[in-house]
Chains A and B, each alone.
Chain A
C-alpha cells in the first residue's frame, strides 16, 4: 500500500541577514497508514522545520520551501492552493506543538479553541462544537470536562494544557498527526501519561503519527520506524528496534550512548558527543558530522555521504558504515 505521507527531497531554507540557513537540506521520509514514525535529533537539526513544512506553516518571508515534494494520499501538498491547503490543516493533518503555555490563546476558552476547527471544517455550530469539545476533553483525560470546557488556558496546568492541545489536534479526526516534542516541557511522570494517551488515541482512531523528539528513551516503545536527523539531513533510518540495537551511523550511536539505560551496568559512564552541531549557514563540504566523529576517514572530509541500504530496510548515510567498519556497534 502506498504510504500516507511521502516527503521527497524537501529543502526549506531561511534567508537571514547573516546568510542562508539550510534548515532542511534534502530530507525524505514517509509514513504509512496507522504507523508511528519517530523523527529524532538534537535541537536545531531541522526536525521541527520539516514538520512545519508539511503544513506549510513556515514563517514567510524569511523562510521558504525551496524544493521537494510532499505527497499526502497522492496529492502534492506544495502544489495546493492556499485555500485547499487550509482545508487540509486541522482536518487531514494536524500538529501538536511543543509549548502548551504559549500555544494557546489566553483570551479564548479551551472549549472554543477546540471547537474552532470543528466549526470550520465540519460546519458545526458553536453549541455543537462545545459539546464535542467536552467529549474530547473527556477522551484526553481531563476530569469534569463539562465544566472545564469553559475555562481559560491560564486555569489549566501545563500537563492539562498539553492534553487540551492533543484534543485540538484530534478534533476533526485527521489522518496524520505530527507531535512536536509533545512532552519536553512537562514533568517526567506526566510525560509517560501523555505518551500513553497519544498512543492509545492513535491506535483507536488508526491515525498515523510523526513523533518528533530528541529523547531516544521513548522512541523504541512508541514508534515502529525511526528517522535520525542531523544538521538538516536524515543520516539514518530503519525499524526502531534495528536502529536501536545496531545503529549504522556514529551519530546515532553517540545519541544512544549518551542516554542512560536501565539495562546497562551502573558504572558505565555516559558518553556525550563531543563538540557542537555545525552552523547551518556554513556547512562543511563533506559529511556534516565529520568534525565530531571519532571514526571518520579522509573520504568523509571530501564527499557528502548518501543514504544507502546497509541492512534490509535499514539505511545510513556514512562512508565508514558502508564499508562495514562499524566499530561503534561493538561497544
Chain B
C-alpha cells in the first residue's frame, strides 16, 4: 500500500509545473542543468524513482531542495516531535472528552447533560480545526490575551492548537459513544447482570462500558487519520514548526524531496495507527480473535 502511495505521490510531484529550482529570479539555464545533474534530476523518471526507493531501504528519504544542508530525514525528525506531541495531546483529549461526554449523555438520557452533549457534538462536529483555531485565536489571544498566538516552546502555546484540533474528533467520538452506549444499555445481558444482584457500578463498568467502546475503537483509527491531516492547517495557523507546516512550505517551494518525505511519513503514521486499532479491536472484542 505504501508502495502505491509513494508511486502516486512521486508521479504527481513530478507533474507539478516548475521544478525545484523555480525562484522568483530565474536561474541561468546552465546553472539549472548543473543542479539537475548533481541531484540526479536529469535522469529518466523511472530511474529517479528506483533510486528513491533504494534510498528508502537505507532509511534515507532523500535530500531537501530548500534546506540543502540537511537531509529530508533530518528535517522530518526535527519537525516530528512537535507534530507528535500536538497530535497525541489532541487525540488523548478528544478520546477522553468524547467518551466521557458520550457515556454521561447516554446514562442520563433526556437530562440536561444529554442535551448539552448532543448540541456540543453536533456543532463541533461540523466546524473544522482550521476555522475553530482562528476563532479561538481571536477570542483568547487577541481579545482576551490569555494565550499566545503560536510558536512553540511553552505549554500555553499548545493549548489552543490542541483544542482546535481535538474538537471535531471529540464531538464525533461523543456521538458514537452515546449511540453505542444507548444500544448496549438495552441489551439483554445487562438485565442478566442485574439479575445476579451485582452492584450497579460493576454492571456499568464490566458489562456496559467494555461493549460500548467496541464501535468507538473502530472509529478511532480514521479519527486519528483525520487528526493528522487536520494538523497540517492548524500548524500553519499557529506557527508550529511541525511536519504539517513543512509540507505546506515544501509544496510551495517545489521541494520534491521534502514533499515525498512528508507524504510518505504521514501515510506511514496512518497505517501504523490503523494497525494499532486493529490489534486493540481484537483485544477488546473476543469474537474477533477466534475467527
Report which A residues bind B (CB closer than 8 A): 55, 57, 86-91, 94-95, 97, 99, 102-108, 113, 116-117, 120-121, 152, 154-155, 165, 168
Contacts and interface: CB of A to CB of B under 8 A. Distances in A.
A125 B149 CA distance: 55
A251 B210 CA distance: 46
A235 to B, nearest CB: 28
A168 B286 contact: no
B210 to A, nearest CB: 5
B287 interface: yes
A52 B194 CA distance: 11
A57 B188 CA distance: 12
Interface in B208-226: 210-211, 214
B210 A120 contact: no
A107 B197 contact: no
A120 B206 CA distance: 13
Most chain A CB within 10 A, of B195, B284, B290, is at B195
B284 A97 contact: no
Given A152-B286, A152-B287, A154-B287, A105 B197 contact: no
A57 B196 CA distance: 11
A141 to B, nearest CB: 20
A168 B189 CA distance: 12
A89 B196 contact: yes
A106 B287 contact: yes
Interface in B185-200: 187-189, 191-199
Interface of B: 187-189, 191-199, 202, 206-207, 210-211, 214, 284-287, 290
B192 A103 contact: yes
A106 B197 contact: no
Contacts of A97: 188, 191-192, 195
A94 B196 contact: yes
Contacts of A89: 194-197
A117 B196 contact: yes
B191 A57 contact: yes
Given A99-B188, A108-B206, A155-B290, A94 B284 contact: no
Given A89-B196, A95-B195, A117-B196, 17 more contacts: A86-B198, A90-B196, A91-B197, A94-B195, A97-B195, A102-B187, A102-B188, A103-B189, A104-B189, A105-B206, A105-B207, A106-B211, A107-B210, A116-B193, A121-B197, A154-B287, A155-B290
Given A152-B287, A155-B290, A102 B195 contact: no
A326 to B, nearest CB: 40
Task: Tell me what chain B mostly uses at the interface: helix, strand, loop, or mixed.
Answer: helix
B194 A107 contact: no
A152 B194 CA distance: 20
A107 B195 CA distance: 18
Contacts of A86: 197-199
A95 B192 CA distance: 8
8 contacts: A55-B195, A86-B198, A102-B189, A103-B188, A105-B206, A106-B285, A107-B210, A108-B207
Contacts of B193: 105, 116
Contacts of B194: 57, 89
Given A102-B187, A103-B188, A107-B210, A120 B198 contact: yes
A287 B85 CA distance: 73
A88 B188 contact: no
A120 B286 contact: no
Contacts of A152: 286-287, 290
A117 B211 contact: no
Pairs A-B, 9 closest by C-beta atoms: A89-B197, A90-B197, A90-B196, A102-B188, A117-B196, A105-B189, A103-B188, A152-B286, A103-B192
Nearest to A171: B196
A213 B198 CA distance: 27
Contacts of A113: 192
A121 B211 CA distance: 24
Most chain A CB within 10 A, of B187, B189, B196, B198, is at B196
A88 B196 CA distance: 9
Contact of A107 (B191, B192, B196, B284): B284
A91 B197 CA distance: 8
A307 B187 CA distance: 37
A116 B195 contact: no
